[in-house]
Amino acid sequence: MDFPRPQGGSLLARHLTPEVWRRLKDRETRYGVRLEHVIASGLANPDSAVGVYAGDAESYELFAPLFDPIIADYHGFGPDKRHQSDLDPAHLDAPNPDPEGRYVVSTRIRVARNLCCFPFGSVLSRRERRIVEATVVRALEGLSGELAGRYHPLYEMDPATKARLVADHFLFKEGDRFLEAAGLNRDWPDARGLFHNEDKTFLVWVNEEDQLRIISMQPGADLQAVFARLARALGVLERRLTFARSQRLGYLTSCPTNLGTAMRASVHVRLPGLTEEEIKTIARAHGLQVRGTHGEHTRAEGGVYDVSNRRRLGLAEVEAVRELAAGVRALLKAVD
């Protein structure tokens, strides 16, 4: 195959040079991941921001001449650095930035995880995906207290329930073309599903972009409570499951933007009087990213923006949430 020059302004287009292509094109990981799998989504979607997905943990080593520059570009994390985790809520110190509840609609913190000893979603066979689902569900069904809940397989959900869960921000959307081109939607909806507790403050997405997306969320801006719930759940799950992780890159994920903490801490916030450009400028200055009301690749509806940490690798979880809190304080100051 000749050099497939990627179109558009993605990180793939910036970093896949003919030389990198020549060096990597004949390599294959133990699970059979090749460069053409890694770059398939970015080639099919020229409007990709990033354009690459890892098929397994080894992809990050074998294809490092492509991943490392993309990782450095996105996270500002060089090849000589090492990621350090800190999920201790006692180290957070992020007071509620909107104690009167005037602007922040809700707060959500999610982390991505994949199980060690399986390839990632784009490479899993149908059988392996079912084993991942069963393993994860077994671990989740043992949770107690506030975290206790039930697993709902996607194929059992009726369309109206599904649509409501998506509209209410509890469930992933279907048919994402970036995931589709990466092979992450194969055999849909088989072995996909949603676990949640009674109040829907603790949720786990199973076998979407990553094998687990572990989510803590609630109305308002109590970052400390949302983080503490997530940390508690992770503490229990870490004892029951072994997650894919590397000393250098932290938790390993399908998309390199999620490496490290694999954490996106966000608020849904209304900022009356500020234009989208003003919001984005303040957010960017605080290392934050702005998304639409229904997540990535959506627009703001009813003036509700999703503001979250952009960097996930090279900073501890508690630092990422502190960055969010500082940025939200700055945005609220600009409103008043």
**Contact set with ligand ADP (CB under 6 A):** 106-108, 110, 169, 213, 217, 264, 266-268, 291, 293-296, 306
Based on the residue annotation, tell me whether 30 is a catalytic residue of this protein.
no
Residue 176 binding partner per list ligand ADP, ligand CIR, none, with a CB distance cut-off of 5 to 8 Å that depends on partner kind: none
Distance in angstroms (rounded) separating the CA atoms of residues 196 and 211: 16
Contact between 332 and ligand CIR per CB under 6 A: no
C-alpha to C-alpha distance for 161 and 334, rounded to whole angstroms: 39
User: What residues contact 145, with CB distance under 8 A and at least 6 apart?
Assistant: none
Q: Minimal distance in Å, beta carbon 207 to ligand CIR?
A: 17
For 290-311, letters b (16+ CB in 10 Å) and e give bbebbeeeeebeeebbbbbbbb
User: DSSP secondary-structure letter at 301?
Assistant: B
Q: Which is nearer to ligand ADP, 29 or 216 (CB)?
A: 216
CB of 105 to ligand ADP, least distance (A): 7
Tokens found for residue 250: 């932290």
Residue 297 CB, shortest distance to ligand ADP, in Å, is 8
Confirm or reject binding of residue 51 to ligand CIR (CB under 6 A).
yes
117 part of the active site? no
138 among known catalytic residues: no
Smallest gap from residue 144 Cβ to ligand ADP (A) = 25
- Part in contact with ligand CIR (CB under 6 A); list of ranges 45-53, 119-127, 142-150, 231-239: 45-53
Choose among 144, 170, 125: nearest CA to 31.
125
Tokens of 76: 């500002």
Q: Any idea how long the chain is?
A: 336
Catalytic, out of 192, 264, 310, 312: 264
Question: Is position 178 an interface residue for ligand CIR (rule: CB under 6 A)?
Answer: yes
Cα 195 from chain centroid (whole Å): 17
**Minimum distance of ligand CIR from residue 49's CB (angstroms):** 4
Helix (H) or strand (E) segment spanning residue 112: strand 104-113
Q: Tell me the C-alpha to C-alpha distance, in Å, between residue 137 and each of 49, 54, 235, 289.
A: 33, 24, 16, 32
Q: Would you give the DSSP letter of residue 209?
A: S
Separation of alpha carbons 151 and 45, rounded Å: 33
By the rule CB under 6 A, 48 interacts with ligand CIR = yes
Q: Catalytic pick from 34, 108, 110, 229?
A: 110
Any contact of residue 50 with ligand CIR (CB under 6 A)?
yes
Residue 49 engages ligand CIR in binding (rule: CB under 6 A): yes
- The listed partner (ligand ADP, ligand CIR, none) that binds 185, CB under 5 to 8 Å by sort, is none
Nearer to ligand ADP, 177 or 294 (CB): 294
Segment near ligand CIR (CB under 6 A); pick from 47-55, 57-65, 152-160, 196-204: 47-55
- Rounded to whole angstroms, the Cα distance separating 144 from 165 reads 23
Task: Estimate the crossing angle of helix 223-240 against helix 126-141, to 10 degrees.
Answer: 110
255 is catalytic: yes
**Of ligand CIR, ligand ADP, none, which one sits near residue 51, judging by CB under 5 to 8 A according to partner kind?**
ligand CIR
Establish whether 209 is a catalytic residue. yes
Residue 264 annotated to the active site: yes
Closest CA to 147 of 202, 205, 92: 202
What is the CA angle 163-169-174, rounded to 5?
50
| Catalytic-role residue among 133, 208, 209, 323 | 209
* Interface residues toward ligand CIR, by CB under 6 A: 10, 41, 48-51, 178, 255, 257, 296
Active site residues: 110, 209, 213, 255, 257, 264, 291, 296
